[in-house]
Structure 1
Amino acid sequence: MMCPAWRVGGVCAIVGGILIHLTLGNLYSFGNMMTYMVSYMHQRVDPTITYANILWVNSITTMSQGFFMVLGGLLEKQAGPQLTCLLGCSILSSGIILTRYTVDVSLFAVLLTYGLLSGLGISLAYTTPLSCGMQWFPGHKGLVNGLIVAGFGLGALGSTTLQTMYLNPENKPPQSDGYFVEASILNRVPSVFVLLGVIFLVMQVVGCFLLKKPPQNMVHCQQESEGLLAEEVTSDEQELHINTPNITPSSSTTSFTTTTSPCSNLKPREVIKHRIFWMLWLIYFFNTIAIGYINAMGKSFGQTFIKDDHFLAVMVSMAAVFNAGGRVVWGRLMDITSFRVAMRMVTSILTFLFATMPLTVYLGKGGFTIWLWAIFFTFSGTFVLMPTAVEKAFGADHYSANYGLLFTSQTVSGPLIALGNQLLLTAFGFTGCFEVVAVIIFLSICMTFLIPEGI
């Protein structure tokens, strides 16, 4: 059994990871914050700033995540988890606070603070808590990842509620064109960024203090409780021999293979030579297009037929609960089954939900709520299944950097979301956008059939 003192250390690391991810999860409140931000800038800064081009802020965030996520993993190896996370969290909170000033300047300035700096901060602080948690509880990797990234999903609950109650306490509706014009609302927009940034920074400092890796000799105290880990290793090693019987350990790092053992502990430059990595990369790429779109445009779509800002804010906030809960459920399902079984379920359900989302116009508030919550519950699986699969496939030693490689897909998906939305929304409306996203998610379903069973 795990030593009691070390068990406390593991629980503290998970709690610290959850606190950090709660602040990183402000990303999911962008769809709500965007309605106030674009209204303020459209009315008081530049009338050419619209819902179509404000989406670039969110796209820049995801793009910078993709560019810098590997850097976070490499930095952790040199500076340790606490310093790495503290640096990333400080950059994130500083970017949000600085938006108090850039929101009065230009869209480009906001892209730098609320977009670029936020994405850089998230990229440095995202993977380290997951790596720490899995090292404390190696037999329950999916569940631990689910608990920590549940904080990311739940982050929008507090952020969205705070934004709406602070900015629009009287529940005043936007105009028919979707923009708020009430001076009482617009006057509060700059200061909300300072409020959010300070709250986040306090939570982040506490979370970083709790975040520690287990001592090197912990394995001796855990040996009797790691049967599940041993089974995972044995299963994956058998899969390796079945698929690549003639490949030796030395050659497996220099040529493409279909799978690998968790004991390989491959470095990023070795991981990119494996075909399985590119399968995971494509699945992540397709999925994040759908996730980025619903995150940014979900509330805007609801505003086209629901004229109740507080209702929409509550629905978006509660979606965060389903986002968080789904991560625990999908993580546990992967522990019980496998990555490809769980991911196939995720992508199949998402395809159906996006394809039918336009029908909620005829179903009113109830239908919109059910579909929105179901989408958030389902897509949350991506962010617990993918990191667990990377760790199982390529080992724990360079996990943070290896998982960061997957985020390079967002350097492509980010601008595609913004460009595609500008073109499709004008030409075909929300219906066309949702149907295109459904087709993209269907490609993920196809990719799951190429993933080896041992992952």
Structure 2
Amino acid sequence: MDSGFPGEREVGRISWRRRVRWRGVMVVLGGILMHLTLGTLYTFGNLSPYLTSFMREYGSAPSLTYTQCAWIYALAAIGQGASVSVGGLLERKVGPKLCSLIGGWGMSLGVFLTYFSAKESFGLTILTYGAMFGFFVGLAYAVPLGCAMRWFPQRKGLVNGLVVAGFGGGAFIFDQVQTAFINPDNFKPDKEVDGEKYFDQASVLDRVPTVFLILGGCYSGMQLLAAPLMCNPPGYSSTQPQSQKKESVNHQEGEATTDDDIDSKSPLLDQPDKEEGGVFSSSVPATGDMEKQPSVEDVDDYTLSPRQVLKSRHFYCLWAMFLLNGMGSTFISTLYKAYGQTFIKDDTFLALVGSFAAVFNGAGRIFWGTIADKLSCRVAMLSMSAAFCALILTLSVTSYGGKPLFFIYVCLLFGSFSGSFSIFPTATAKCFGRKYLGVNYGLVFTSQILISPLGVFLSEKLKTLIGWNGLFFFVGAFSLTSFLLAMFAFTAKDKKGKEI
């Protein structure tokens, strides 16, 4: 039978598309698995009371407080913010598989080393479970996002939300692992110093160093399974030699222009929009050889290099909003349990709150990513900032409602701030293209280098002056400012004039 019949070619094309689709699904699943380990950054709020109590009681940091211990989280966030762009560059050099494995195993090594550093000093613990942990998380962080969005360019927000849902959901599993191992008998912290309560039971504290060996083993095993699934779609090339720049025809003047010329005329660089029929058409031809794949630029409105992104005012708007929203995520992630202990005397319940908050953290990323796809990133930003602001300003009412209301509030707070980590990479991809996503999103992520230590410093200094309620209003002011920026300053539009 002649294999060239149109019917047989169509069947072959459908079969090939199904294989490609399933490969893309496996990439997304691998990204979720990798982010489950990277997202254990959010277990710090649950682990902090144990770690702080251990270092106080066993002498490595006798006067350590919860707000001071939050510097570990701050250094992790600084390391992550500093290395996301580095991870994007490393991926282009060594490929997504090796880059994600280097990042994942480097992070796991930091967890292993904390077994020793926690016994020695707070400074060493900041290095291993803070800076080292965060730096390698950042190396691996953007790789699954970039791969997933390259496989599913028309569903950036959804697949982005699915992958980072793993980052948000990692604490659901490992909060319970930590508490079940360290405090299986549900002892309550019964040593009170300056209004804060710490554990002093030897049966609890003796298990603290060992938990880092258990966690590191779990993380490294999961990363070994996830890294081989990371790959780019057929036809994708992360590099393009200068001598092979494609030329496109200027239909109005009949002149050939290079890709750099095209990119430099992007309206995101405050230039006029291209016409509908121009070279930035995002439609993919329905005909052609079924093995031929569209390049990244064929399905993006614009492709801007990092150098060009730094010339766009929309980059600075995204950077500022991400910074402002980061204050809320830093505050809640590190201190929700410490606040809950002021009126709730049940450690197992507080760990359960952290686990379900992680579920909302993960589900929220999918939810907000879907909103960004179906409506716009700007609408999602406005809704997310408004929700978080309203919740944080009224968080103090949970002391009157007890366990049920505290559970609801913490879950909703995690579900609201989580939107930043699906909305902002989606906005970055929609604004500047996916080809340089790892590096460009890394530039946006550098905002966390500033806000994380600032958030911890201000919380530490202001808590004694204005108390918990004052801190809630202080953090709420940051979210309100982000809302105002999204409302009046972020006006990015695609080539059709539609709000991004």
Q: Does the pair score TM above 0.5?
A: yes
1:251, CA displacement in angstroms?
A: 4.4
The one-character-per-residue Cα deviations of 1:263-289 (angstroms, maximum 9, x if unpaired) are 432111211110000000011000011
1:72, CA displacement in angstroms?
A: 0.5
1:318, CA displacement in angstroms?
A: 0.6
Q: 1:270-419 maps to which residues of 2 (within 5 A)?
A: 270-419=308-457
1:319, CA displacement in angstroms?
A: 0.6
Identity %: 40
Work out which of the residue numbers 465, 475, 490 in structure 2 matches 1:451.
Answer: 490
Secondary structure of residue in 2 paired with 1:322: helix
Name whichever structure is richer in helix by fraction: 1
Partner of 1:40: 54
> Counterparts of 1:180 and 1:400 in 2: how far apart (Å)?
42
Partner of 2:287: none
Structure 1 residue 113 corresponds to structure 2 residue 131: no
Question: Are 2:158 and 2:369, in contact at CA under 8 Å, matched by a contact in 1?
Answer: yes
Structure 1 residue 97 corresponds to structure 2 residue 136: no
Partner of 2:240: none
Partner of 2:222: 203
Residues 362 and 74 of structure 1, relative CA distance in 2, 3 Å threshold: same
Partner of 1:16: 30
Q: 1:75-154 maps to which residues of 2 (within 5 A)?
A: 75-154=90-169
The one-character-per-residue Cα deviations of 1:81-114 (angstroms, maximum 9, x if unpaired) are 0111000001100000100000011111001100
1:380, CA displacement in angstroms?
A: 1.3
Partner of 1:186: 205
Question: Are 1:258 and 1:276, in contact at CA under 8 Å, matched by a contact in 2?
Answer: no
Partner of 2:249: none
1:50, CA displacement in angstroms?
A: 1.6
Question: Are 1:350 and 1:375, in contact at CA under 8 Å, matched by a contact in 2?
Answer: yes
Question: Are 1:253 and 1:273, in contact at CA under 8 Å, matched by a contact in 2?
Answer: no
> Counterparts of 1:151 and 1:27 in 2: how far apart (Å)?
12
> Counterparts of 2:470 and 2:44 in 1: how far apart (Å)?
22
1:253, CA displacement in angstroms?
A: 7.4
> Counterparts of 1:166 and 1:259 in 2: how far apart (Å)?
60
> Counterparts of 1:161 and 1:131 in 2: how far apart (Å)?
30
Question: Are 1:67 and 1:411, in contact at CA under 8 Å, matched by a contact in 2?
Answer: yes
Partner of 2:245: none
Partner of 1:31: 45
Higher relative contact order (CA 8 A, sep 6+): 1
Where structure 1 has 5 or more consecutive residues not aligned to the other structure, the ranges are 219-247
> Counterparts of 2:236 and 2:38 in 1: how far apart (Å)?
32
Partner of 2:83: 68
Q: 1:211-230 maps to which residues of 2 (within 5 A)?
A: 211-216=230-235
Secondary structure of residue in 2 paired with 1:396: coil
Partner of 2:174: 159
Partner of 2:285: none
> Counterparts of 2:122 and 2:223 in 1: how far apart (Å)?
28
Secondary structure of residue in 2 paired with 1:178: strand
> Counterparts of 1:250 and 1:325 in 2: how far apart (Å)?
35
Work out which of the residue numbers 44, 55, 64 in structure 1 matches 2:70.
Answer: 55
Residues 42 and 154 of structure 1, relative CA distance in 2, 3 Å threshold: same
Question: Are 2:263 and 2:304, in contact at CA under 8 Å, matched by a contact in 1?
Answer: no
Secondary structure of residue in 1 paired with 2:446: helix
The one-character-per-residue Cα deviations of 1:170-223 (angstroms, maximum 9, x if unpaired) are 0000024311000000100000000000000000010001111111179xxxxx
1:249, CA displacement in angstroms?
A: 3.5
> Counterparts of 2:345 and 2:490 in 1: how far apart (Å)?
45
Residues 300 and 78 of structure 1, relative CA distance in 2, 3 Å threshold: same
- Number of matched pairs: 426
Amino acid at match of 2:177: L
> Counterparts of 2:405 and 2:29 in 1: how far apart (Å)?
35
Secondary structure of residue in 2 paired with 1:304: coil
TM-score using structure 1 length: 0.91
1:257, CA displacement in angstroms?
A: 2.3
Secondary structure of residue in 2 paired with 1:307: coil
> Counterparts of 1:250 and 1:33 in 2: how far apart (Å)?
47
Higher-Rg member (1/2): 2
1:377, CA displacement in angstroms?
A: 1.0
RMSD: 1.8
Partner of 2:7: none
Where structure 2 has 5 or more consecutive residues not aligned to the other structure, the ranges are 1-13, 238-260, 274-279, 281-299, 494-498
Amino acid at match of 1:56: W
Amino acid at match of 1:200: Y
Amino acid at match of 2:334: A
> Counterparts of 1:308 and 1:267 in 2: how far apart (Å)?
51
Question: Are 1:40 and 1:189, in contact at CA under 8 Å, matched by a contact in 2?
Answer: yes
> Counterparts of 1:397 and 1:448 in 2: how far apart (Å)?
25
Most deviating of 412-421 and 445-454: 445-454
> Counterparts of 2:330 and 2:43 in 1: how far apart (Å)?
11
> Counterparts of 2:422 and 2:263 in 1: how far apart (Å)?
31
Partner of 1:235: none
Secondary structure of residue in 1 paired with 2:483: helix
Structure 1 residue 5 corresponds to structure 2 residue 24: no
